[in-house]
Structure 1
């Protein structure tokens, strides 16, 4: 999969649309029209509570979609606000309906929290390296260079990093200096080894650039040349297999896709 996980997109949309669903359900439950229910909300509900009903679910959906470390905690904060508001609603109007609503909110919150503590879900929020959909377009380079002064083959490159093959033995978190000559220009860029892939006997290393000086401009110019030559790595681009329909079919028939799974 090369797009943002559909499970997170759907969950974000459900939160964003929650105020509309809440309006419809309350109108049906009370026997009011949508217009009457909307008027009732604005005339009866305390304004802070109304803002919570309308704004917090939308913010929660946005925080899910942003998919960052800070948005993870912000989302859990939204859940806490919703829970507290429903407890307040029950305390001010103790009846069976508000009790059932409170219990429903508690159950839903527990299920959602359980989903977000699954390691594969947490990882995409806490580890930027696993957010494959944020990766810059990569281009075939297939050029010999040097890594820390030793020969290495640069298979592909993007604005943010490159993939090495036939390189000296490296480990994750090793700092490297990669140099090459291309079309009469000497390029030197520093980076950090962020992963290692073992394909047969030849390991490959993913390097994330730590640009300094002219290296960022030089790499950008190289990327433009490779792009104009049509050398983009198409295997990394979203395709039909990444569509919502394919994801839904896999979810229904094979139970796959509920949790994010890093592409290979």
Structure 2
């Protein structure tokens, strides 16, 4: 998969659409029409309670979609607020229907929290390298350069980094100074090793650039040249196999796609 995981997109949408579900559910429980329930919400209920019904679920969905470390904790905070509001609703109106609603909310919260503590889901939020859909387009380069003054073969390159398929021994988090000349353009840029592939006989290294204004300008020019030469790595771009329909089919036929899986 080369897009944001569909499971996270759907969870975000469900949260964003939750206020509409709350409106319908409350209308059914109270015997009101949707318009009557809408009027009741915004003219009778306390404004903080309306915010809980309408704004908090939407914020929770946005936090899911953002996929950042801070948004992970913000989302769990929204879940806690929703849970506490339902406990308060039951406390102030103890009857069977509010108890059932409270139990349903608790069950859903438990399942959602269980989903978000799965390691592959957490990595998407806590490890930027797992957010593959945010990666800039990558281009075939296959060009010799140098890494820390020693010969290194640059296999592919993007605006924000490159992949070395042959280079002096490096380790993750090492600082590396890259240097090469392409079509009479000399480029020097610093970076950090963020990935080391040891599955092949010759280790490969993913390097993330630490740009200066000058190196960023040079890389933009280089990427524009490579794009014009048609050297983009097409297999890294989203294709039909990444569509919602294909994901849904795999989910129900093979049980795949519920949890994010790193792109290969």
Aligned counterparts of 2:204 and 2:84: Cα–Cα separation in 1 = 50
- Pairwise CA distance, 1:238: 0.2
After superposition, residues 50-199 of structure 1 pair within 5 angstroms as 50-198=50-198
Q: Which runs of 5+ in 2 are unaligned?
A: none
- Pairwise CA distance, 1:192: 0.8
Q: Which runs of 5+ in 1 are unaligned?
A: none
State which drifts further: 12-21 or 105-114.
Answer: 105-114
Corresponding position of 1:14: 14
Corresponding position of 2:44: 44
Which 4+ residue blocks in structure 1 deviate beyond 4 angstroms?
none
State which drifts further: 231-240 or 29-38.
Answer: 29-38
Aligned counterparts of 2:29 and 2:176: Cα–Cα separation in 1 = 64
- Pairwise CA distance, 1:52: 0.7
Aligned counterparts of 1:180 and 1:249: Cα–Cα separation in 2 = 46
Per-residue CA distance 1:112-151 (angstroms, 9 max, x = gap): 1111111111111011111000000111111110111111
Aligned counterparts of 1:43 and 1:92: Cα–Cα separation in 2 = 20
Aligned counterparts of 1:95 and 1:199: Cα–Cα separation in 2 = 60
Report the RMSD for the aligned CA atoms in angstroms: 1.2
State which drifts further: 177-186 or 122-131.
Answer: 177-186
SS of the counterpart of 1:202? coil
Aligned counterparts of 2:133 and 2:190: Cα–Cα separation in 1 = 24
